[in-house]
Structure 1
């Protein structure tokens, strides 16, 4: 913690390329709790214990350890994090050419986190509804299959847009290969209640919402 205090601000990003048991992440969370800080951390671990030891420690100190003797450990330090394993790269050129297309879950994880910057929860995916999860501001939908013919023939239509369920005040962020409706047509949008829908074309606008 002392090293982090000396070398960072309250909103810095702390990188540990040899995360080991997760001490750095634990220290960042502890400091955030103590100082009301907003530090973030990136932990990298290449050994096979990355999930069961490194990530598990972070999960426990965030959620709390009921059997701990220390109150702060029992209550949890709060915060959140996402755990990723290195897999095959998702290359935009490959998506365009239909080569080595990522699985639905892999692309869902990619677009959700890239668009929202929030933790992705795989258990929230409902592929039958093309729903991949909710962030603070968005309910996110992904119309995708790792099949080039599907990508060539699938588009967000008026029927599909109006069938999406209501999510309160949250906007519906829809990723699809293309669309067959004009969301800039105010008359159409008002008539069919589409004002809370935002469309992102795969793969061109994956980064748009981060700007």
Structure 2
């Protein structure tokens, strides 16, 4: 998947992250790339804020924000929502204080780091 030549596709990295987070098989038919949705399992939805574009991944658009967290949670307010993203602009404390059942998980930095050597 990671050859160093290009970034992995949404479904490529999404399937690995979904399996790592849930210990369940990834169902590509549940995925909605344009909505950053990977799928659900047992009361938990898994999201991936990702595009295979290095500049986009380093931009503010790729971060989990309060607005985006609320949007994700609104899709199923009773469930937990696990969100993989390269950055966040909202603290876990704020999400908890506002009763937004979203948990941030950082994307592996090695995917989009800047090589300074």
TM-score calculated relative to the size of structure 2: 0.80
The residue number in structure 2 matching 1:201 is 106
Alignment of 1:178-189 (within 5 A): 178-185=87-94, 189=96
Distance 2:91 2:77 in 1: 23
Query: Whose RCO is larger (CA < 8 A, sep 6+)?
Result: 2
> 1:145 is matched with which residue?
51
Check if 1:190 corresponds to 2:88: no
Q: Relative to total residues, which structure has the larger strand share, 1 or 2?
A: 2
The separation in 1 between residues aligned to 2:28 and 2:10, in whole angstroms, is 11
Structure 2 residue aligned with 1:102: 8
**Runs of 4 or more above 3 Å deviation:** none
Q: Residues 90 and 137 from structure 1, CA distance in 2 versus in 1: closer, same or farther, beyond 3 angstroms?
A: farther
Report whether the alignment pairs 1:161 with 2:53.
no
Larger radius of gyration: 1
Q: 1: distance between equivalents of 2:2 and 2:44?
A: 23
Q: What are structure 2's unaligned runs of at least 5 residues?
A: 110-117
Superposed displacement of residue 168, structure 1 = 5.0
RMSD: 1.8
Aligned equivalent of 1:119: 25
How does 1:79-90 map onto structure 2 within 5 Å? 89-90=1-2
1:168 and 1:119 map into 2 onto residues whose CA distance is: 24
TM-score by length of 1: 0.46
